Structure 1
Amino acid sequence: MTDGIAWLAEPQSIAFGGYHVTLARGLGAEGLAARIAASAQWSERTVEPIGELTGDGLIAALDAEYGDAWDGIGLRLGVSGEWTFAVAYGGWFGEFRHDPAISEGEAEVFLVEYEEENGKPVPPTFFYHRDGARMCSFNLHLDDSWGNGQVDGHPEVVREVAELLAAEGLPDEERADREVHRTVLGVLERHFGLTLPRALVLEAPLPAVLLADQPSSGRVSDSR
């Protein structure tokens, strides 16, 4: 599989530690990066372009800049058809708010993330925001291991997603988590038309940025 998003359920599908992928419609790459930076919860961050890099190249750049890639955060940015995407690297775990404001101005923004090495354990999660409102969110194991395993959000969207999951026999406590994870991602990719080009993400150089800490006076401006 080269497109869709179900391939993210594979072990270490993008990098060690899990994945944090944002897909947007109605935003350019610069605007999406700025909005992700603005959603940082613990410090204000600037977007600093550092050229076109592979995933390994960005991890090496984070190592060089911070001494350890886990002490910094970087994004690789791209476009596939109608979708703009951002893939996070480094210490992104727990660093960003899942704020519907990221979709203000009639944009649609989808976030899928999985802290694969978190021992608590934290399940993979999905968020769909549109025009400043949360439309749908849930954990992709569809269980109560970490918060509510129920699909939540706008009633019409919730009904549609829940019906599609039910058609796949989900939720099902007897199924392995990874199988549920992969099946749910497949449902989401088909229903919302989500696509993330695997070969491009894993092999090609893409525009890369660091999300650098900044003094409190300087949030990144929001641009399309």
Structure 2
Amino acid sequence: MHTGIQWLADWPHWYAGLTFARGIGPDELALRLGAVPSQRPGPLAGPDAWDLAGAVLDGDGVARVGAVGAWSFAVEHGVPAGAELLPEVSRDGVEAVHLDPQPDHPPKQFVYARDGEVVCCFGLGEEIWRGGHHPDFLLPDLVAARVLRPDGTAARPDTEPPPARDRRTLSVIERRFGLSLPRRLVEEARLPAFVTGA
């Protein structure tokens, strides 16, 4: 069953950063996110990873990793390194997508990198302000979803509720990259875990 990633828009407990990589396995993704090879606490579920993230040194985090389809993924608890390390994650022809919920400093952030460089990035709900080496990379998709107009200005109504707004943009990202991540993997599944250093 294809669950996609749109459910994140309606999930009140989205506090973990999510990094996806196509072209490397889960263990390599963890290493590129700064995993400390000597600190593998074993398979952890979400609550255990949060407990560990609160106990590790300040600036460190915990990454739980796995794979769905063609993509490896990391659920980053504590301090997510994915946004800063995405060029490293995506080196040597790898594609990488990072979604950061930014609970303390909205909006939620999207970044796409390929072969060592950030291709495009924007905040969910702030797609008019796009960055990266090719900021308009997703513009045709965002226009087709009626998020933006062809000139890059906002197309959606100002009154659109934030969950519906975020779901619409997440649907663009989901379709464009073929991303799927079942909620149970993020919340409950015991996944291989790594401590990531700052």
After TM superposition, the score normalised by the length of structure 1 is 0.73
Pairwise CA distance, 1:35? 1.4
Secondary structure of the corresponding residue to residue 97 of structure 1: helix
Which runs of 5 or more residues in structure 2 are unaligned? 149-153
Matched, 1:173 2:120: no
| Cα distance, 1:57–1:2 mapped onto 2, change above 3 Å | farther
| Separation of aligned partners in 2, 1:61 and 1:115 | 20
Secondary structure of the corresponding residue to residue 87 of structure 1: strand
Contact 2:147 2:169 survives alignment (8 Å)? no
1:63-98 superposed Cα distances (whole Å, 9 cap, x missing partner): 4445xxx76410100011111000011233x88515
1:166-222 superposed Cα distances (whole Å, 9 cap, x missing partner): 268844322122221111101210122111122222221000111145xxxxxxxxx
Give the alignment's Cα RMSD to 1 decimal: 2.8
Contact 2:16 2:78 survives alignment (8 Å)? no
Secondary structure of the corresponding residue to residue 63 of structure 2: strand
Secondary structure of the corresponding residue to residue 157 of structure 2: coil
Counterpart for residue 74 of structure 1: 62
| Separation of aligned partners in 2, 1:167 and 1:56 | 35
Secondary structure of the corresponding residue to residue 51 of structure 1: coil
Matched, 1:12 2:12: yes
How many pairs does the alignment contain? 192
Contact 2:86 2:98 survives alignment (8 Å)? no
| Cα distance, 1:95–1:87 mapped onto 2, change above 3 Å | closer
Contact 1:35 1:102 survives alignment (8 Å)? yes
1:93-117 superposed Cα distances (whole Å, 9 cap, x missing partner): x88515433211111000011112x
Counterpart for residue 58 of structure 1: 49
Q: How does 1:126-205 map onto structure 2 within 5 Å?
A: 126-142=110-126, 149-150=129-130, 153-154=133-134, 157-166=137-146, 170-205=155-190
Q: What letter matches 1:28 in structure 2?
A: G
Contact 2:120 2:132 survives alignment (8 Å)? yes
Q: What letter matches 1:81 in structure 2?
A: G
Counterpart for residue 84 of structure 1: 72
After TM superposition, the score normalised by the length of structure 2 is 0.82
| Cα distance, 1:167–1:10 mapped onto 2, change above 3 Å | closer
Q: What letter matches 2:68 in structure 1?
A: S
Counterpart for residue 100 of structure 2: 113
| Separation of aligned partners in 2, 1:105 and 1:128 | 15
Percent identity over the alignment is: 30
Counterpart for residue 151 of structure 2: none
